[in-house]
Structure 1
């Protein structure tokens, strides 16, 4: 997860904004995820160059990339099926990784050390690494109900936008989760 955090930071250094949760075509249909956009920053420039960003992630044109396993996107303690990932961005209108919209670091008024970027979810929620589908607040709040099927006892790993990795207990208060998801709500998070 730390490598993903570094990649997000480096993406921001180059483009002066975080990647969107996903890109869209002229009709608003999702094309590619943030995971595709940060490939050059995780030493996957050659793979990135094979992807036609004007076509959907699962278009036959992108079949070679589609079949590729990207180890950075797989939790070392739990291996989902090849090409799948349990590392999902926290997406929504008030998050850092927003659908079809990029956010600058200075817009993260809650602080990058108090804003979730990525969560390591139960393998049943795994998606293809190229997929523009990720986690929303509803999925995140539901993780506490999955205590018997979590891959890590007692909680789940998260990546904050400052690049730090934190373990969140399944017993964390809902108000804290809501505050951590928000990038611009100015909520008080406190200790977590």
Structure 2
């Protein structure tokens, strides 16, 4: 009897050990598989945005979608009909500001295609104050238009024009003033190697090299809106002049242009990479720590900086 109980105990210990071994080996594989699935969906979302932007250009004499100033409105709104969101687009009053009370139901609408499932806080909201001091909430996005990029410092002479350049802005590095919108034919550095939209995930929260620095979505205070800029809400003019950081994400214009800070810089929640939509509609995985000069070359559309995918793609 004792020997049978002893043998059963040994069998149980061996079975438990085997089970723990399987879990130890299999759990990391499961995590990697889950993240790979999320990264794929993230790329698919950028692909949807890309198809919508190119369809918009087809319908508007080759002009890419752009932000507006009178009244202020964002490029995301313009591509809604090309994202199977015509009904939502029809609710938006183009003659009014994006924060106008009539447009707030649209502004509060969460659109799955505009968020990356790898990013935390996917259902977050951006809390704002309108010019009259009234509070309202807007839905967020993890993707930002590539309007331009700074090289070494944030002065106008070092600002290079991007595919979603801000209308009327002078880009000193490119020696050109942006018009109402960019045409695809204006992109002469190669559309397959020129950014259209990039990941800048989990705004308005602040991230530095994988660490949450400021959890803004937990802050119930509403911040005053900026008419022509987005804190992470898709409804506003959703653009940024990209810049690099140092490796810890603290100081601007270091040599890390991917995944060191989401403060005006490319940032994704994928191991060793972030995603970007190119001007030809393709989606590229950028390697973490991408050099500042390469990022600027990928942003600028007609400055003669010809690069290849090997210069920036992550190892898959």
Are residues 1:46 and 2:87 paired?
Answer: yes
Number of the residue aligned with 2:162: 95
CA separation of 1:115 and 1:131: change in aligned 2, threshold 3 A = same
C-alpha separation in 2, matches of 1:144 and 1:69:
25
Q: Which structure has the higher relative contact order (CA within 8 Å, separation 6+)?
A: 1
Separation (CA, whole Å) in 2 of partners of 1:139 and 1:33:
24
Q: Any residues of structure 2 matched to 1:1-192 within 5 Å, and which? A: 1-16=46-61, 17-20=63-66, 22-25=67-70, 31-78=72-119, 79-82=122-125, 83-92=139-148, 94-100=161-167, 101-125=180-204, 127-138=232-243, 143-146=258-261, 150-190=268-308, 191=310, 192=312
Task: Tell me whether 123-132 or 8-17 shows the greater mean CA deviation.
Answer: 123-132
Which structure has the greater CA radius of gyration?
A: 2
Cα shift readout 1:43-92 (whole Å, capped 9, x = no counterpart): 11111111111211111121211121111111122225152001111113
Output the TM-score relative to the length of structure 1.
0.88
C-alpha contact (below 8 Å) 2:191/2:280 kept by paired residues: yes
Please report how far the alpha carbon of residue 144 of structure 1 lies from its aligned counterpart in structure 2 after TM superposition: 4.1
Q: TM-score, normalised to structure 2's length? A: 0.55
Conserved? CA contact 2:164–2:239, under 8 Å? no
> Once structures 1 and 2 are overlaid, which stretch shifts more, 116-125 or 40-49?
116-125
Q: CA RMSD in A?
A: 2.1
Distance 1:42 1:116, change over 3 A: same
User: How far off is 1:145 after superposition?
Assistant: 2.4
Report Cα offsets for 1:102-135 as digits up to 9, x if no partner.
Answer: 1111111111101101111231346111011322
1:36 and 1:130 in contact (8 A); partners too: yes
Structure 2 spans left out of the alignment, 5+ residues: 1-45, 126-138, 149-159, 168-179, 205-230, 246-255
Distance 1:104-1:57 versus aligned 2 partners, 3 A rule = same
Contact 1:80 1:123 survives alignment (8 Å): no
Q: Judge conservation of contact 2:88–2:106 (CA < 8 Å) in 1.
A: yes
Change beyond 3 A, Cα 1:139–1:132: farther
Asked if the contact 2:75/2:238 (under 8 Å) is kept, the reply is: no
* Partner SS state of residue 57, structure 2: helix
Distance 2:243 2:299 in 1: 11
Structure 1 residue 143: Cα displacement: 4.1
User: Alignment length, in residue pairs?
Assistant: 186
1:31 and 1:54 in contact (8 A); partners too: no
Counterpart CA distance in 1 for 2:272 and 2:186 is 33
